[in-house]
Amino acid sequence: SGINAPRHQEGSLQLPNQPRPMADNDYQEMDGTSMATPHVSGLIAIMLGIDEDLDLDEIRDLLRDNSELRGGAYDTDFDENWNEKYGFGIVDGARILENLTGQSGGGGGDGGCDPAPTGSGDWVDIQSHSNGSWLIEGESYRVRGEAKHPQQVGETIEEVLIHGWYWYQENHTSPREKRDAFSWTQATLSDGVELGASNWSHIFYVQDWVDDDELTIEVRARDSTDICSETAWVEVMVGTQSISIDSPSGNAPLSGITEVEGTFLTPEPESVEIRVGKGEWEETRLVTQGEYTDASWDFDWDTTEVEDGTYRIAVRGHDHSGVISDELRRTVEVDNYPPAPALSIFGSISVEEYGVPIEEAYVNTFLEVRAEIRNNGDADAEEVVVHLREEGTKRSEATIPLIEPGQVIEVVLYWNPMASGGQDLEIVIDPGQAIPETDRSDNSAIITFPVQPRPDGVDLAIRPGAVTTNPAVPRPNEPYTISIRIDNLGARDSDSFSVELSMMNEFGYELYDVFNATVILGQMSSSITFAGNISDARGISYRATIITSTDLVSDNNVADFVIVQDYVTLSGARTPALQSTHQIEASAGLGEDSLLFTSVGSKLFVHRMALDQSLYTCLELETEWLGDVAVNSYQGIVTVAWTRSYFDENSFIRSTVSYTTIDRTCQMTPRQDLMPGLLTSSGTYWGLGLDQRDDSVVIAGFHRDLVTGGTYQDLTTIFLIETDSPLSADDWEIHRNTILDIDLYPRSASSIEVEIGEDDIHLLHQNLRDDSTGEERLGMFYAHGNIDEQNWAFSIAAGDDATSGKMLLVENSDGSETIFTAWREGTEANAELVTRISPPSWFQGIESRTPARGLSNIALIETDRGIQILYDAISPTGPKLHYGLLSNDDGDGNMWLSDRLSSGVLLTAWRTDDSGELHFTYVTSNGLRVRKMVEDPTVETPDHGLLDEIRIWLSLDESTFQALMNSVVITFCSLSLFVTFVVTSNRRRRADSDVKVGFVNENWVDLESDESGDEIEVTPIVSVISEEEITESADDDLSPAPVSAVVIEDGPEDPDSSSNRSARTSRRERRAVEAEMKQVMEEMHKAIEESGLPPLPVPGELPTSGEFPPLPAPGELPPLPAPGELPPLPDLPAPEIPVTCASCESTFNARANKARRVKCPLCGETVKM
């Protein structure tokens, strides 16, 4: 009681421009165990700091023996000292510290008192320790004895004083000096066995006073008459104790029989013990000479008796007095075998339904069997196959791409039990023994799981997720099929039944088709297929109804569902080149490429995914990541916000919110730390959300404040950070307390969704709620307000027992805004997908609920056609991905949900705007997958709809169709060249036969290119062609005419001369051109033949437009050549282009050349082409 401590300052709020408040210069006094407990606890901490080897009994004795007794004993039968108010007394900390350190704080001084009469002063003796015994430095010892006055009967022993000293010599040449180990100190007294006798004891801590030398302990007693006894003394030896491991060093792996050896320094060494890991201690006796010596010890350890791996060797020594040395440990690696994996089942096997562990299930129930696989080896295990077997028969299989040494990976296997009773479930690792392991005894584990039979009778049901389509996403105005799975949840076989398919129209559901089915065996299932209605609607509502005469439960005979139609093509699934240790955290589109953000422990990585979905790592974004990341893609830049920790200038760990941007080259801007650093003891930031609109960026997050201005109230609020200059670290503004009274544990809820509107900032977040039912559960809340305001006035509960909230704000064509939200409500087994379309005021919104058992993740993606939504849910055959559309184009708020895409659990989804593709990652039983949904360009580019219709009709994707088109274009160009050549040859021959005298041919200019110069010499020649020559050169089908041709020549000759160019020269030029074209055609025919394309038709044999054969059916086209196998294009002659001379304004044709210059045939000027 009566504990004094500095008074604390009750209020620590620092006002602006005022000094920081300090603690009062005063003390306060308080009583009670609440003050006594920390006082004594602190004293024990000091005691252990002096001597860490003190055990519980020694601490208890020190406290009791050095306490001042107050009051009388409460019950002597219980204890002679304990008092109901003061316990065992008032602890005297000073005396305890004197006992431990030997530093006297009084109590007898030098023991001076009147000496006893000669021969009568031998009242005190030392029973322990004896002369010559050894004490170990760093240990605490109790010196004890008895004090009894032999002469003065009735006199009592008042005190016993104890003193220790030793000789100190700094070096061999310096003189010795006497020093106190501990000064005269009161020993602890207790009643002796005989009347008038007192037992005394004293505990002291041996320091490094001497080594291998004497310590003298003196004791003197004083009686009630102030008479002192003679001094009793004992000389003990003091030494140090240490043990070492000389080998193995721990730097190299061990194999075979390894000698473990070292030394043990102690007075009178007796034995050394060793153990490996948590095994038993093994002892070896030491044979030594001398009392204080450094003894050698050794053990032979057969490392082949243990598996390869890391082990800890521990040794300790014992001396003759029973003192045990400190335990010395060394970590070594045992490697007797080549590096190999060592796989085992880690932990227990659990069976779950919709994510909830269960103890039993019905027949024909979809279940998840979960187990963890651990690699205890020293090599990677790749492509680890895991089987689930029921009564020895394989029921499910999963493949883990990679398990690194020491890593634990969870595997999920699916099971649909079809027999009742206790079923033996066995998980087998690497059943094909493809992975080299030295020990396969732990590669399997078995549990027995009870399966209950279905009710006696027939129960036909259409269960949630039982409807699929082919294709997965039908296109408007194209055929598709609908498959409906019918389960018999009863134990008896069904009679014949029918399934009616109705379709919604303006009058309600109208019968569309009927399917008459036969028997479905008890506890089995069957699928029924319908042809879907061909329509241009975005969504078609159907109702399937089972018509049966006998059924146990009729509630599950009807199922309403919607088939979503969209202009998209779903690609095949791919496995990204991502190690299994990476966990996908976020994703974003970046032009045609994508960025994936993954984590490995506290590291955050950025990977770039190309258009073909190939992946490579381009950034290590953070090494001290705290678990939160938010990304946003805007105009070719990805903005990123994340939480991280760091060491401040005082080496304290703090956390903050950081920001950067990443461009198309995967380069990041310098990191900006936006929030003040928080000590771990002061709180944390978490649950980040991010949005960008033009240059404005807003980051939202939770802030748990444990200090709360010095009041320590542990409050959590929502903060906002905003800027209009994201690249400037000085322009960010922090807005605290946007929303108060958040009752959540850090990272116990999904991240905040934030959207920037025209007038307000919009938030969708979670918080605990206990309204209406009085039970605390997570709820979904929507709020909006001005970013500069605190404690927003508008906040409304949106969902009950809700999680996984997503939100998008879309600006409509008329400038108004629409908010699209989605979240999950209910437990795993009864989960619903809630979608809502509303104005920014939130009121007058339209809400839809879709059953989605086991829903775990949702993604909203904005497109020009509306909002694409992806989510996962559990079907009768496992987790499936679903696709739907949300739209508010007509203001009616249409929600079409949903088509089933594939098996798996959704991770992330994003859009690449440049390529118009929706990408998503998901997890299947065989690992991570990535897939994309390509928008058909017919929606936005109707001018090119014919080619896309052909592509869709052929069921080809963009890249395959483009390769096919390239081949078709090559064939068409070759055919065109051939036709052009034939037509040109015929025209020229007719022209040669029809030329009249005096006609100037300006359209034929023969160019002779000189590659060494910039200009082309043009040599027009004038000559007269005789009738005979024309007849020789004309084709047989042309009628010869008695004409002559005049051709202009530029030269020293007279331009009117008719003898400068002969007909023979003209024919030679014509033949050269024809030979050149013939060579081109031969090379083209050869290239077409080598490529496998059909040969070109002979001139004159081209069919009419109505005689062309029909287009080949899908799959009948020849395979496309691989890249690099396309035939090279033949060398074609340079094309002729029209040229106009600026000097004489004449126009003529000339072949293109590298110099792009030609001389005019009339005036001789050089003309640029």
Question: pLDDT digits over 281-295, tens only?
Answer: 999 998 876 788 888
pLDDT class of 1066 with cuts at 50, 70, 90: low
Q: What's the CA gap between 178 and 625, in Å, rounded?
A: 61
Question: pLDDT digits over 474-497, tens only?
Answer: 999 999 999 999 999 999 999 999
Q: What's the CA gap between 122 and 739, in Å, rounded?
A: 83
The answer to whether 546 and 499 are in contact (CB under 8 A) is yes
Closest CA to 662 of 651, 650, 670: 670
Question: How far is residue 256 CA from its own chain's centroid?
Answer: 41
Mean pLDDT value across residues 931-938: 82
pLDDT class of 944 with cuts at 50, 70, 90: very low
Determine the pLDDT at residue 4. Answer: 55
pLDDT class of 1087 with cuts at 50, 70, 90: low
3-state SS track over 263-308: EEEEECEEEEEEEECCCCCEEEECCCCCCEEEEEEEEEEEHHHCCC
- Of 3.40.50.1240, 2.40.50.100, 2.60.40.650, 3.90.1150.10, the CATH number of 114-239 is 2.60.40.650
The answer to whether 1127 and 1135 are in contact (CB under 8 A) is no
Q: CB neighbours of 382 closer than 8 A, spacing ≥ 6?
A: 401, 402, 435
Determine the pLDDT at residue 24. Answer: 47
The beta strands (E) that lie in 110-241 are given as 114-115, 124-128, 134-136, 140-148, 157-168, 177-186, 188-191, 197-205, 213-223, 227-228, 232-239
What are the structure tokens assigned to 1101, written together? Answer: 């044999």
What are the structure tokens assigned to 997, written together? Answer: 């005298």
pLDDT class of 1006 with cuts at 50, 70, 90: very low
Question: pLDDT digits over 232-259, tens only?
Answer: 999 999 988 899 999 999 889 999 999 9
Closest CA to 300 of 245, 261, 262: 261
**Three-state SS at 989:** helix
Domain positions in the chain: 3-13+27-91, 114-239, 245-334, 343-416+423-452, 460-567, 634-656+667-766+781-800, 962-1129
DSSP code per residue over 855-874: ---EEEEEETTEEEEEEEEE
Closest CA to 295 of 320, 274, 268: 268
DSSP code per residue over 558-597: EEEEEEE--SEEEPPPB--S--TT-EEEEEEEETTEEEEE
pLDDT class of 886 with cuts at 50, 70, 90: very high
**Class of CATH domain 245-334:** mainly beta
Determine the pLDDT at residue 1154. Answer: 58
Determine the pLDDT at residue 559. Answer: 95
Average pLDDT value for the chain = 81
pLDDT at 898 over 70: yes
Question: pLDDT digits over 486-525, tens only?
Answer: 999 999 999 999 999 999 998 999 999 999 998 999 888 9
Determine the pLDDT at residue 132. Answer: 87
pLDDT at 119 over 90: no
- Strand 343-353: give its sheet, edge to edge: 356-357, 343-353, 367-375, 408-415
Kindly tell me the burial class for residue 204, based on how many C-beta atoms sit within 10 Å of its own C-beta (0-12, 13-18, 19 or more).
buried
DSSP code per residue over 195-223: TTEEEEEEEEE--SS-SSEEEEEEEEEEE
Q: Which residue has the higher pLDDT, 307 or 260?
A: 260
The answer to whether 396 and 370 are in contact (CB under 8 A) is no
What are the structure tokens assigned to 337, written together? Answer: 């075998």
Q: CB neighbours of 1159 closer than 8 A, spacing ≥ 6?
A: 1015, 1016, 1017, 1018, 1050, 1165, 1166, 1167
Question: pLDDT digits over 656-689, tens only?
Answer: 999 999 998 899 999 999 999 999 888 999 999 9
Mean pLDDT value across residues 34-58: 82
What are the structure tokens assigned to 444, written together? Answer: 């399997």
CA angle (718 as vertex; 717, 721 as ends), nearest 5: 135
Determine the pLDDT at residue 1034. Answer: 37
Q: Which residue has the higher pLDDT, 514 or 158?
A: 514
Mean pLDDT value across residues 364-390: 91
Q: Which residue has the higher pLDDT, 802 or 827?
A: 802
Determine the pLDDT at residue 1052. Answer: 43
Q: Which residue has the higher pLDDT, 480 or 153?
A: 480
The answer to whether 519 and 495 are in contact (CB under 8 A) is yes
CA angle (1134 as vertex; 1128, 1135 as ends), nearest 5: 115
The answer to whether 629 and 669 are in contact (CB under 8 A) is no
DSSP code per residue over 1018-1045: E----B---HHHHHHHS-TTSPP-----
Q: What's the CA gap between 656 and 675, in Å, rounded?
A: 5
What are the structure tokens assigned to 555, written together? Answer: 């509630």
460-567 has CATH 2.60.40.10 classification: yes
**Three-state SS at 952:** helix
**Three-state SS at 706:** coil
| Cα separation of the two ends of the chain | 110
Same fold? 245-334, 460-567: yes
Determine the pLDDT at residue 939. Answer: 42
Backbone dihedral angles phi then psi of residue 674, each to the nearest 5 degrees: -95, -35
The lowest-confidence range among 352-356, 759-763, 1114-1118 is 1114-1118
Mean pLDDT value across residues 35-53: 83
Question: pLDDT digits over 913-930, tens only?
Answer: 888 899 999 998 778 899
Q: What's the CA gap between 38 and 33, in Å, rounded?
A: 9
Helix ranges, 863-1012 (H): 945-954, 958-994
Q: Residue 947 carries which side chain, given as an amino acid letter?
A: L
The answer to whether 59 and 42 are in contact (CB under 8 A) is no
Question: pLDDT digits over 708-754, tens only?
Answer: 766 677 899 999 999 999 888 889 999 999 999 899 888 888 999 99
CA 678 → CA 309, 656, 711, distances in Å? 40, 7, 16
**Class of CATH domain 343-416+423-452:** mainly beta
Mean pLDDT value across residues 565-588: 90
What are the structure tokens assigned to 391, written together? Answer: 């009564």
Using DSSP bridges, classify how beta strands 356-357 and 343-353 pair: parallel, antiparallel or unpaired: antiparallel
Using DSSP bridges, classify how beta strands 467-470 and 481-488 pair: parallel, antiparallel or unpaired: antiparallel
Q: What's the CA gap between 403 and 371, in Å, rounded?
A: 14
Determine the pLDDT at residue 570. Answer: 92
Q: CB neighbours of 694 closer than 8 A, spacing ≥ 6?
A: none
Question: pLDDT digits over 388-425, tens only?
Answer: 999 999 999 988 888 988 889 889 899 989 889 999 99
What are the structure tokens assigned to 283, written together? Answer: 């002892």
